[in-house]
A and B are shown apart, each in its own frame.
Chain A
Amino acid sequence: MHLDHPVTMPHRHAYSPEPLRADRGLRAFRVGLGGPVGSGKTASVAALCRTLRDEFSLAVVTNDIYTREDAEFLLREAVLSPERITAVETGACPHTAIRDDISANLEAVERFDETLHPLDLVLVESGGDNLTATFSKGLVDVQIFVIDVSSGDDIPRKGGPGITTADLLVVNKTDLAPHVGADLATMAADAERQRGDLPVVFTSLTSDDGIREIADWVTGHLARWRAKAAA
């Protein structure tokens, strides 16, 4: 069932899933990464894995358009061992799998919780989609939306649920801005108008440590979530 209605706000679950597993242990923190095709979602996931894997126990769920392509990229790049990477098929509707019917993704993340001990963090990467795709709060604890400057500096102005509601907006490929005539200041101003206080990171993932700010944001949220769950 195709449920992508660009004119309406995405349906959200009214609750977040419990942070405790059935055995009362803490489950892994779940981070969703969405955004249009080619904006750098898979590159972000790869960079986050390389940056965080020594300190945290990680796993990745990909939602490929054409099954396993992104999962296979991550395997090839050897960012994590194979048992920590899995792919979910989405039946040509990647946004449905992360938003309207999250059951296959929940299966995948819960399976990681069961099989990988201890597990700190699961990254759920959506299939490349349009600007309306967001993650259900029933699936992830926080979500990151990745766009890039080369797709047009008017994207933040156009908005859409991903731009306006994601917990973190990443504007990637800032190094390309002069070449594609993108105005970063305008993008920043538009993003602020759309998002209010929600954070925006401008970065180039190909630069040294271009992932650092995003990684720090993730680990900060992980720490706060744990503190809250323990309270």
Chain B
Amino acid sequence: MSAGTQLDRPKAAFDPASPPTGTEETCGHPDGVRATARIRATYNGRVTTLPELRSDGPFHLRRMRTGGRAATVGVIGAMSAPLGGDRLALDITAEDRAELDVTTAAATLALRGPTTAPATYDVRLSVGEHACLRWLPKPLISAADSNLHQTCTVNLAATSQLVLREEQILGRANEKPGHLVSRIRVHRAGRLLLDQHTAYGDPEPGWDGPAVLDGHRAVGQLLVVDPELDLQRAPVLLRKGTKDGCAVLAPLAGGPALLATAVARTSSALRELLNEALGHAFGE
């Protein structure tokens, strides 16, 4: 996960000329890392426990100390990932009545790696009845020449609570971003609540134009799902212009959910917008 490599990756010959092939789309690059880490939280009647905490590949999972009934897990980068050709997945389940917080220790840096083939990074979140999951990872940085297909698939029960934040930083300082394709799909009580697909960086057409990002390099979302939410209110607009970033927080159509969408020049400005949106979501 983090930029700091702690474990050796499988040895791979670096060959920038090797073109991606069709089979890599589905099977991953032979040099790529395949890893699926799992977190499963349950409620034992008193506190939330973690019967499954399976680290894998770049995902090193660590139980954090907490008070109260919630459990907290930190995802710590055990090697540089995702690189081109990697197939990474993170399954997080909060079973009925469990309360789980998951964070990442450092930003996730998508790099080119030994191949230009896309890496995939699939996050699957599942939240049971009366359970609560807060998935608040650090930003994903799409570095120059990287190629990442990211998905976030969320399944919620009717009484689930969710706070989800996604931040994407397009390029490190003064570099062109890589190619970053993301899709988020959220189902609640079997019904589709949100389905969004974004694609940034070359060769996507129009991604940096005035209809999509208009030069902003930090883009993010905050999704709050909570059956107790007060949805009978006007959308909140943060910052009136667009030049220095702006955001909207508004209810979704299909359930008790608020979504903030923000664009900004920098990751810190983006976080500020999303934090403000979070405050508004919880009625401040």
- Are chains A and B touching in the complex at the 8 Å CB cutoff? no
Residues of B at the A interface (CB closer than 8 Å) are none
